Amino acid sequence: MTTTITNFADTATGWQRALYAFLAEKEQRSGSRRTVEGYSRMLQDFFGRSGKEPDHVIAQDIFVYAHGPGLSGKQPSAITIGARIACLSSFFRFLIRMDIIQSNPCDKLQRPQVSPSPPRGLSADQVHQLLAVVPDSPVGLRDRAIILTLVLTGRRRAEVMSMKAGDLSIEGDRTYYTYRGKGGKRGRRELPKPAMDAVSAALAAFGLNLANMQSGTSLWPSRSQDCEGLTSGTFYGNLQRYFRRVGMKPAGVHIFRHTAAKLRRDAGETVEDVSRFLDHSSLAVTTVYLRRLEGEQDRSWAKVAQAIGV
């Protein structure tokens, strides 16, 4: 368990131990340290403000917290309200499963309706333009390798950024990588040759060679040359600069997963192929994902337009 609760006493109470257990399970299931840290911050904030133990929390306490201003003093957006309620509800569901409490106070609350923004995927030409503005410096070569790995494998941000030297294995002229996906799902897949070539070039620029690296060393070196390597936040900052240089709208790292799915479909792969590629839990998830990404074709507008004479 990597997340720490900084304002807890050294001797944890039963409630505090339950919170630790919840966060440990959340990290195991999600595979994302960032998600766990977000849940940790919200839970600390709520229980710090309320001053109550979980079995004394009522729906009104959660409503006031969810709809109240944050540390910035600003009123929360619908997305923030929903995230706060979801976090607390998840914790209370965990306590119910552990037979610690009997009911979830969040069940009485209505979550705000949120219209998610449609996902964006880059075209092949846009990916080409983006790579063209990444410099040939060691940092640039490393960032280029990350972008190519994201686009060609379709893996999630955390899965790529956590890659270690020991996750790669070379067998003949092919390279394979192992990963732990969402829900703790583990897999082993081929790392496409352009991505592997970019990784090798980036490591060489930092004076490293995969054959001589310790298995626990990050595949994405930083200037400090430590084993932990590049942080996700630093890569995100670099990525925003690349987007600005090419004149594209800012976007998060997840856009490359959308891009990977889009380009696979553009290349003629079936929904089933894309579903396996993305490790989606069902074809229904992939179908919705692609429909939102590609846009649903309207096959009837021409007849309607003809009928009304336009």
Confidence of residue 117 (pLDDT cuts 50, 70, 90): low
Residue 285: its pLDDT value, please? 65
Q: What is the pTM of this model?
A: 0.65
Taking residue 285's Cβ as centre, other Cβ atoms within 10 Å add up to 12
Do 213 and 199 touch, CB atoms closer than 8 A? no
pLDDT of 307 > 70? The answer is no
How high is the mean pLDDT of the chain? 84
Quickly tell me which residue has 């929390």 as its tokens: 57
Bridge partners of residue 187, in order along the sequence:
179
Residues in the chain: 310
Helices (H), the chain: 14-30, 33-50, 59-67, 78-97, 124-132, 138-153, 157-161, 193-205, 232-246, 255-266, 271-278, 283-294, 301-307
Residue 11: its pLDDT value, please? 43
All structural domains of the chain, each given as residue ranges with its CATH number in brackets, are 14-108 (1.10.150.130), 124-294 (1.10.443.10)
Q: Which of 123-132, 160-169, 197-206, 220-229 has the lowest mean pLDDT?
A: 220-229
